[in-house]
Chain A
Amino acid sequence: MTIPQANSDRDVSLPVSEPLLSIRDLKVHFNLSEHRLVRAVDGVSLDIFRGETLGLVGESGCGKSTLGKAILRLIEPTSGSVLFRNADLAKLSSREMREQRRYLQMIFQDPYASLNPRMTIGQIVGEPLDTFRLARGAEAEKRVQELLETVGLSKRFIKRYPHEFSGGQRQRIGIARALAVDPDFIVADEPISALDVSIQAQILNLLEQLQRKKNLTYLFISHDLRAIRHVSDRAAVMYLGKLVELADSKTIYDEPLMPYTKALISAVPVPDPKVEASRQRIVLEGDVPSPINPPSGCRFHTRCPFAIEACSEVEPQLVQIKPSHYAACIRISPSQPHIEHVAPGDAPGLELSLQ
């Protein structure tokens, strides 16, 4: 099997661990009609390392959830590969894929919609044990009780139904179910967005604690940059189906390079009136364009305050601008990483994208 050459080859200074998952040029396109193609995910390459939390952030319609689901084949990828445990998930038969699901799990946003209302908590959490023949009878029941306690729920809840629980408790049930198969990798798709503020912290802490205990790897998908900054080791920013920036999450937050990331971060309200009173906000004009016929060249050029003519013509590649810091923007380069200091009209990164 050949691995398509990714333009975001990682440098050696990063953690020495092997990638748990290698995504290469993954695309998910939906045909709406003969002439209307939604490029929800349009050529994403990414390595996810064992034991890390990779945050995936972006606004609605950017393709972040579709990417998460395509990795797990809950949505069929159009092309590209997802290497995991010496197999390309994107090319497995559905039967082969089912075996892999034992190692790959998902936590959903809406704890109300993702639990079957007619099943007891015991059945919901125990179902994967049965599906993968991991435990039966008394042993399965014991496992379920342990799982409930692991996520901070009383084992007395085993015979109750989802409607008897609050949003936060339901999210815990969803987490217990994902943990039942003892997975390596979990995609958490907006796991705290539907929860009250005081409950969000509980779930974030629980996810972090479980990660340490079970050496889990997370893809944490969220529109909430504050949460991403808190839980992730590295963060990837998506815009209209493309990755536009990738770095460790502190760097992304403190020193974003790509203009979209800069705007996104400057838009995040900070819970401190002193900070809020003094900060300069980059307010973007207009809405995110439709992923049907997205803008040519750099997809962000229609809203970018730094766009020049070449931006509408050349599609920028995700290239390394600083050590372990990748960005897709032709107006910056490793020698001129800060767009504010680039001469007007200059595009020092143009050649990197044309190669």
Chain B
Amino acid sequence: MSSRNGHLLEVKNLRTYFDTEDGLVKAVDDISFSLQRGETLGIVGESGSGKSVTNLSIIRLIPDPPGKIVSGEVVFNGQDILLLPPEEVRKIRGRRIAMIFQDPMTSLNPFLKISKQLMEMTQLHLGYTKAQAYEHAIKMLETVGIPDARTRVDNYPHEFSGGMRQRVMIAMALSCQPELLIADEPTTALDVTIQAQILELIKKLKQETGTSVILITHDLGVVAGMTDHVIVMYAGKVFEQARTAELFARPGNPYTKGLLRSVPDPTSEQGKLYQIPGSPPDVARLKPGCPFAPRCERVEEICRREFPPFVQLNADHYSLCHFAREVFDASEATNK
């Protein structure tokens, strides 16, 4: 699928700020990345890193006020979504870019039958008749592996378990065969065995339909198994981006490196876990210099003074760090 022109989505210099009682919060501050057709991009970050705001910005769901997309471009299929009138954005949302969220119960209407909610998608976006939409709803439930779909389609959301609701969400999201699926922590609220089912399902549907996926998660294990590219976010910035295999093998940023080392690896014997000291910063009160400097083990005077450069380390590999090259070279050495 990655033949013609390659990029399905290009985010350029996106800035999304929130006006809060604490002052101006630069939730997303000048980030750029792109997504190839047919690829899965992982966005990793801790709370407050801006990963969810990034994706709400892509589909223009930032509550305004207090939020505002201050500048940047979100080029989807050659068209800047940020310049489109609201009714055009609504046509794209759900039809060409679909989203699934962590908690399916907040995105499903508890008073409406599943059939009604699924039918709405195709009736609205594809102009299906009621009968067509109903049949399509059943077909979608079957696709996502809901047993006895013809009966279950007329159930209400509360009659489904957590894992089944997430399947319903995926069925709804994929109803109109979107080109891009944004999945924001889709398995965080689920049990491990159910998580495995949902991740397998997303992989399978991706292969069958060629949909590109943005997967937002805090779980580095999920990233390792599901994605082609990763961007690591911290304090509203992209700290590192690379192909997934390279990011894990040769991280070029002290934050990424620390994060990778702080996760228990069940396949190897470890003593004390590496720990990054301190906590993620309050983005309303960022000091000059690198936002990670107070927690960084490679910190030097310059880090507290000057904002770090976004250094290219390899094809498709960038890191926001004054010492990116050194960190990158060192992690190659330790992996040999």
Give the complex CA separation of A199 and B259 in angstroms.
10
Q: Let me know if A3 is at the binding interface, CB within 8 A.
A: no
Provide the residues of chain A in CB contact with B276, threshold 8 Å: 198, 201-202
Contact of B265 among A199, A205, A208, A272 (CB under 8 A): A272
B77 nearest CB across to chain A (Å): 29
Q: Let me know if A137 is at the binding interface, CB within 8 A.
A: no
Contact (A208, B272) CB under 8 Å given A198-B262, A226-B266, A281-B200:
yes
Which of A225, A250, A272 gathers the greatest number of chain B CB atoms within 10 Å?
A: A272
Give the complex CA separation of A204 and B275 in angstroms.
9
Q: Is the CB of B273 within 8 A of A226?
A: no
Give the complex CA separation of A204 and B222 in angstroms.
21
Proximity string of chain A (162-174) to chain B, C-beta cutoff 8 Å, 1 when within and 0 when not: 0000101100000
B192 nearest CB across to chain A (Å): 5
Give the residues from 218 to 271 in chain B that come closer than 8 angstroms, CB to CB, to chain A.
218-225, 244-245, 248, 258-260, 262-267, 269-270
Total contacting residues, chain B, CB less than 8 A: 45
Q: Let me know if A284 is at the binding interface, CB within 8 A.
A: yes
B237 nearest CB across to chain A (Å): 16
- Of A77-85, A102-110, A213-221, A260-268, the stretch lying at the interface with chain B is A260-268
Provide the residues of chain B in CB contact with A263, threshold 8 Å: 193
Contact of A287 among B194, B258, B295 (CB under 8 A): B194
Q: Which residue of B lies closest to A263 (CB)?
A: B193
Q: Is the CB of A274 within 8 A of B220?
A: no
Q: Is the CB of A276 within 8 A of B225?
A: yes
Give the residues from 178 to 192 in chain A that come closer than 8 angstroms, CB to CB, to chain B.
none
Q: Which residue of A lies closest to B263 (CB)?
A: A271
Q: Is the CB of A268 within 8 A of B221?
A: yes
Provide the residues of chain B in CB contact with A143, threshold 8 Å: none
Q: Let me know if A59 is at the binding interface, CB within 8 A.
A: yes
Q: Which residue of A lies closest to B200 (CB)?
A: A283
Provide the residues of chain B in CB contact with A117, threshold 8 Å: none
B100 nearest CB across to chain A (Å): 18
Q: Is the CB of B267 within 8 A of A275?
A: yes
Q: Which residue of A lies closest to B260 (CB)?
A: A271
Q: Is the CB of A269 within 8 A of B46?
A: no
Residues of A within 8 A of B (CB): 59-60, 166, 168-169, 196-202, 204-205, 208, 223, 225-227, 229-230, 250, 253, 263-264, 266-277, 281, 283-284, 287-288
Q: List 28 A-B contacts (CB under 8 A).
A: A196-B46, A196-B218, A196-B279, A197-B46, A201-B263, A201-B274, A201-B275, A202-B275, A226-B221, A229-B264, A230-B264, A230-B266, A267-B193, A269-B199, A269-B219, A270-B221, A271-B220, A271-B224, A271-B265, A272-B224, A272-B248, A272-B267, A273-B245, A274-B245, A283-B200, A284-B196, A284-B197, A287-B164
Give the complex CA separation of A205 and B274 in angstroms.
9
Give the complex CA separation of A226 and B221 in angstroms.
10
Provide the residues of chain B in CB contact with A276, threshold 8 Å: 221, 224-225
Provide the residues of chain A in CB contact with B195, threshold 8 Å: 267, 269
Given contacts A59-B194, A223-B192, A268-B266, 19 further A-B contacts (CB under 8 A): A168-B279, A169-B279, A196-B46, A196-B218, A196-B279, A197-B46, A198-B46, A201-B275, A204-B273, A208-B272, A226-B264, A230-B270, A267-B195, A267-B196, A271-B223, A272-B248, A275-B267, A283-B200, A288-B191
Residues of B within 8 A of A (CB): 46-47, 161, 163-164, 191-197, 199-200, 218-225, 244-245, 248, 258-260, 262-267, 269-270, 272-277, 279-280, 295
Provide the residues of chain B in CB contact with A267, threshold 8 Å: 192-193, 195-196
Provide the residues of chain B in CB contact with A283, threshold 8 Å: 193, 196-197, 200
Contact (A196, B280) CB under 8 Å given A59-B191, A226-B266, A230-B264:
yes
Q: Is the CB of B273 within 8 A of A197?
A: no
